[in-house]
Structure 1
Amino acid sequence: MDTKPAPFVPPAPKPRTQPPSTLEMMRIVYRNPLELWGEHTYNEPWISVTGIGGPLVIANDPGLIRHVLIDNAKNYKMATVRQLILRPILRDGLLTAEGEVWKRSRKAMAPMFTPRHIFGFAEPMLKRTLEFVARYKAGGTSDIAHDMTLLTYDILAETLFSGEIAGEPGSFAKEIDRLFETMGRVDPLDLLRAPEWLPRFTRIRGRKTMAYFRDIVANTVKLREERLKRDPDRVPQDFLTLLLKAEGPDGLTRAEVEDNIITFIGAGHETTARALGWTIYCLAEAPWERDKVEREIDAVLASEPDPTKWLDAMPLTRAAFEEALRLYPPAPSINREPIEPETWNGLYIPKYAAVLVMPWVVHRHRKLWDRPDAFMPERFHPENRDQIDRFQYLPFGAGPRVCIGASFAMQEAIIALAILLSRFRFDVTAETRPWPVQKLTTQPQGGLPMQVSSRC
């Protein structure tokens, strides 16, 4: 009799059984916030406490999440702690802007992320991925986490910037890691909601890296402006051109243009890179799932040359990617703060409370998922998708501030996985011991060293 293999349970912090002391909590939050949460956090619909920074509400119930992110979104602004961390990096980029500034940016970018435009990116995504995988021809061991950063950078550069980003990809990947290691950490002063003018010593080391990215942006804009002046009729109508054309008295300021460029260069590719790395790792640890995905990819590539069709034609590949997004959400925390106090189903939410909607916790909640810590792509197979509430699965957020690039990322991921897994097999080694760490995104500490071999 055939026996189904036990699902693979990938590495994750074990929920705490005892609350940490204040000093210990601050150390954990700086080192890795994913290690902070106790068992009750993964079992209750919500938790309301008073922490060192004031009132704290952890929202796990899908109805409460919907209320905060959609039904009463007008009463919730970006949380103070989140802004203290992100604004020094992104300033008035789309992820951190609020009010009229956010509306201007969202309106300016929306045309670039329509289905028509995203389908138009499929061929450049395919082209860059095919060029990228040539590095694996000799086989051997490679850090897949680092590689996916390079690949998604290549794709971003080709699609949104027509290959015209100033800077060298290898240096870019190194500096991204350094940026998230320094500027991307929660500083104890952030938890205390200390004023912005107080220096965050944990981020002083990141100033040089931040200057590096600002230089990339300035040089990228300069290159495109020179091209617009020199030959306006032949300038690509891409994301960069769209932003520059949106600049003006009734549109974006130059500072907002640059902030949005750095948002997409620095953060827009990083989330997909991390999700791809975790997907490849989970499939390597669950070869029975990998076999299904490889068979599906091989069949589709043999019969369907159009990459715009692959997302719909590869439900098993998509399911594996979505399950990796569940276990390792690129953005593990969504932070809001009520403008006015309110009550929802008996839960009082005071003004200035830190309201945390944490995909890391919601995606592993004991009352929302069967075997929540296991890698089980069948959750997302077409016949099972209707069982998942819209607000228990939030890899791209929800509501007015849902990720504008979600469809872009899904298409990019499936095209990349199709090419990578059709040509090569990725296996874990004795050195493959990743540990999820929250540094803005959910990153594998120690990288993802894996053995690469040809399938051809």
Structure 2
Amino acid sequence: MDTLAEPFLAPAPVPHEKPLGLPRFLATASRNPIEIWGQRAYREPVVRADWLRVPTIVLSDPAGIRHCLVENAANYALQPLRQRVLRPFLRDGLLTAEGELWRRTRRALSPVFAPRNVGRLAAPMAERSQRFAEDLARLDGAVTDVSTQMTLLTYDILQATLFTNDITGRPDEFAHAMERFLHRMGRVDPLDILDAPAFLPRIWRLMGRRANQYFRRIIAETRDRRRALLARDPAAAPQDLLTLLLESEALSDSEIDDNIITFIGAGHETTARALGWTLYLLSQAPAERALVEAELDALLPGLPDPGDWPNALPRTRAAFEEAMRLYPPAPSLNRTALADDRVCGMPVPAGASLLVLPWLVHRHETLWDQPGHFRPERFLPGRRERIDRFAYLPFGAGPRVCIGASFAMQEGVIALASLLRHLRFDFAGERHPMPVQKITVQPDRGLPMRVGRR
């Protein structure tokens, strides 16, 4: 039996029935962009509106998404608003690079994230996750913010797999700088929405400049120290992602730094949020949690290689995937049409904004049964295959699909299995969290949960 009780309805903004109007739209988009969408966006496969005289197409039809992101991907460039928000922080990282720079960077990074390299990182992922679970066990019965805890865990895994703890300066200083950097990055300023001139100051960008400079200085010093070690004694250098980047010799120092920052901003943070939401959703679905715990109790003792866990633990993986459906790590994929096109029978003129929003696609009433409910059985073997590839987009799609998708999935399942093998998390907040879109989908007031041994 797949679901032993009525599935849990996950918290989300209620779609509005009428247009917001310009003042409310600007305020809402700046505070929480996922709140701007009305009922039509969750019910119709394609919706068109005009914003500042620019046609805007909101696309949720899987065939249409395949056409725009895969078959005719060359016609759709990154949307200027997205670039205005992210590029000041990520610069020439893979997430914001375009054209020949993007193609060269993608070619250089592909071997770094090859399956053999990702598989080799499973052991340090498991070691750090198990150590973290042991530390949490000491809180037995206490309440902690699991959202923050998952940030600490994925940061620890990041250190082990990207830098092997070889950070210039004190790790706690680096962690603090990273926290400040991520807090500023990705904030949508009303001036960006209005396409105001670049010389007008954006408050969040100004506030983030100091953290950005400090963060980049630590990364540059760490990179230089590793390069010196590789020149002096290659055998002594850890075989982590930083070494693989430096050995590729296809990227400049500044491009390496930009991509390390992209890994942190787009990788560490996204996995942390997905893990936090998974633990929260399981706490609200005791029957589903019991099925995951039974799977871990039965199978983990016979799986000494953590690299096998993602494929050998279907219920654990399904819970993680369903959490990413309800709270997608990257809630928007925004493009601009370079030439006229047609999608789902609707003309897309050159210059139009094309919005493919996993937040909407994953909750669309035409694509999912009970789209707002937590039902991990959707992703069990035999059912997972029935989901249209372009109806589930936690890592994007097409040429710009997340290069670290296999890394993130491996990390997520290993961390979740390590935590739930001996611990149980029960939500302890006064009210349920509401999702807020920054770069990722985050809980508005954290995730206070009571941690106990099971």
Counterpart of 1:66 in 2: which secondary structure?
helix
Would the alpha carbon gap of residues 80 and 283 (structure 1) be closer, same or farther in structure 2, given more than 3 Å must change? same
Distance, in Å, in 1 between the alignment partners of 2:156 and 2:295 is 26
- Larger CA deviation: 308-317 vs 173-182: 173-182
Amino acid across the alignment from 1:160: L
The residue aligned with 1:384 is 383
Q: CA deviation at 1:225?
A: 2.1
Q: CA deviation at 1:352?
A: 1.6
The residue aligned with 1:25 is 25
Amino acid across the alignment from 1:339: L
The residue aligned with 2:55 is 55
- The alignment covers a number of residue pairs equal to 451
The residue aligned with 2:269 is 270
The residue aligned with 1:210 is 212
The residue aligned with 2:148 is 146
Contact 1:60 1:362 in 2 (8 A): yes
Describe how 1:69-84 pairs up with structure 2 within 5 A. 69-84=69-84
Identity of aligned residues (%): 54
- Larger CA deviation: 165-174 vs 410-419: 165-174
Q: CA deviation at 1:172?
A: 4.7
Structure 1 runs (4+) deviating above 4 angstroms are 167-177
Contact 2:219 2:257 in 1 (8 A): yes
Contact 1:434 1:447 in 2 (8 A): yes
The residue aligned with 1:442 is 441
Counterpart of 2:112 in 1: which secondary structure?
helix
Amino acid across the alignment from 1:354: S
User: 1:383-425: per-residue Cα shift (whole Å, max 9, x none)?
Assistant: 2112210000000001111001111111111111111001111
Would the alpha carbon gap of residues 173 and 432 (structure 1) be closer, same or farther in structure 2, given more than 3 Å must change? farther
The residue aligned with 1:414 is 413
Describe how 1:185-264 pairs up with structure 2 within 5 A. 185-247=187-249, 251-264=250-263
TM-score, reference length from structure 1: 0.95
The residue aligned with 1:395 is 394
Matched, 1:43 2:82: no
User: 1:201-229: per-residue Cα shift (whole Å, max 9, x none)?
Assistant: 23211112212221221121122123123
The residue aligned with 2:67 is 67
Q: CA deviation at 1:167?
A: 5.3
Matched, 1:320 2:319: yes
Contact 1:109 1:239 in 2 (8 A): no
The residue aligned with 2:295 is 296
Amino acid across the alignment from 2:10: P
Distance, in Å, in 2 between the alignment partners of 1:449 and 1:167 is 31
Q: CA deviation at 1:234?
A: 2.0
Would the alpha carbon gap of residues 183 and 311 (structure 1) be closer, same or farther in structure 2, given more than 3 Å must change? closer
Matched, 1:366 2:365: yes
What is the root-mean-square deviation in Å for CA atoms of aligned residues? 1.8
Q: CA deviation at 1:169?
A: 4.9
Q: CA deviation at 1:157?
A: 1.4
Distance, in Å, in 1 between the alignment partners of 2:53 and 2:425 is 44
Amino acid across the alignment from 2:20: P
TM-score, reference length from structure 2: 0.95
Distance, in Å, in 1 between the alignment partners of 2:383 and 2:434 is 29
Counterpart of 1:165 in 2: which secondary structure?
coil
Contact 2:75 2:339 in 1 (8 A): yes
Would the alpha carbon gap of residues 430 and 212 (structure 1) be closer, same or farther in structure 2, given more than 3 Å must change? same
Matched, 1:11 2:26: no
Contact 1:22 1:52 in 2 (8 A): no
Q: CA deviation at 1:266?
A: 2.7
Amino acid across the alignment from 1:122: A
User: 1:41-90: per-residue Cα shift (whole Å, max 9, x none)?
Assistant: 10011011101362211010001111111000011111101000110110
Distance, in Å, in 1 between the alignment partners of 2:228 and 2:430 is 48
